[in-house]
């Protein structure tokens, strides 16, 4: 009977990890919202811009790989960023199938305005009851979690 209880507990534990992940993800994005609103962008748009701020002039598939998202999600995001005048999309001369995404001057300027965001978010977390060690361990586990689950999508 006791062995069964332990198994049940482990089952509960692993089952319940999924909902906290789902809830935490939405809640943290909600923390970003007031700062992103000031820039007039959404969180996925911010993610795409962060990729470009680190490496400008990359293909769509480079961005989908970094964000672990499909083309059918990233393409509309990039089109909206283009409509806002933050990026430009041009076919690659090397491979006409590929599309090169480049920041405009306006897109590069937004990086400076966005610099306050990680500062502000870090402040919000240090206000809370989280030690540096706990956040470090959390990030480390999440990174391994993502690395493990990532490859199970398109063949691994």
Partner DNA sequence: GTAATTTATATCGCACGCGACATAAAACAG
Partner DNA sequence: CTGTTTTATGTCGCGTGCGATATAAATTAC
* Positions that interact with DNA (CB under 7 A): 22, 26, 29-30, 33, 42-45, 59-61, 64, 69-80, 89, 92, 95-99
Tell whether residue 14 is a contact of its own copies (CB under 8 A). Answer: yes
77/45 Cα distance (integer angstroms): 6
Q: Is 69 exposed, middle or buried (0-12, 13-18, 19+ CB in 10 A)?
A: middle
> Which residues, including other chains, have CB under 8 Å from residue 55's CB and lie 6 or more apart?
62
Tell whether residue 38 is a contact of its own copies (CB under 8 A). Answer: no
- Within positions 51 to 80, which residues make up the interface with its own copies, using CB under 8 A? 67-68
Q: How far is the CB of 90 from DNA (least distance, A)?
A: 10
Q: Judged by CB, which is closer to DNA: 89, or 108?
A: 89
CA atoms within 13 A on the CB side of 60: 20
Tell whether residue 136 is a contact of its own copies (CB under 8 A). Answer: yes
47/25 Cα distance (integer angstroms): 14
Tell whether residue 154 is a contact of its own copies (CB under 8 A). Answer: no
What would you measure as the largest C-alpha separation in the chain, in angstroms?
67
Report the SS3 class of residue 100.
Answer: strand
Positions that interact with its own copies (CB under 8 A):
10-32, 43, 47, 67-68, 117-119, 121-122, 125-126, 128-130, 132, 134-139, 141-146, 148-150, 152-153
């Amino acid at each position: 009977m006791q062995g069964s209880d332990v198994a049940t507990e482990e089952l509960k534990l692993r089952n319940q990890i999924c909902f906290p992940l789902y809830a935490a993800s939405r809640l943290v994005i909600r923390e970003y919202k007031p700062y992103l609103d000031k820039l007039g962008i959404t969180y996925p748009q911010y993610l795409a811009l962060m990729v470009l701020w680190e490496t400008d002039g990359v293909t769509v598939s480079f961005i989908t790989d970094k964000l672990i998202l499909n083309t059918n999600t990233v393409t509309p995001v990039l089109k909206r960023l283009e409509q806002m005048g933050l990026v430009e999309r041009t076919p690659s001369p090397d491979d006409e199938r590929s599309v090169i995404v480049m920041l405009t001057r306006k897109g590069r300027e937004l990086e400076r305005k966005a610099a306050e965001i990680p500062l502000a978010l870090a402040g919000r977390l240090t206000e809370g009851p989280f030690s540096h060690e706990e956040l470090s361990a959390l990030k480390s586990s999440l990174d391994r979690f993502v690395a493990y689950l990532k490859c199970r999508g398109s063949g691994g």
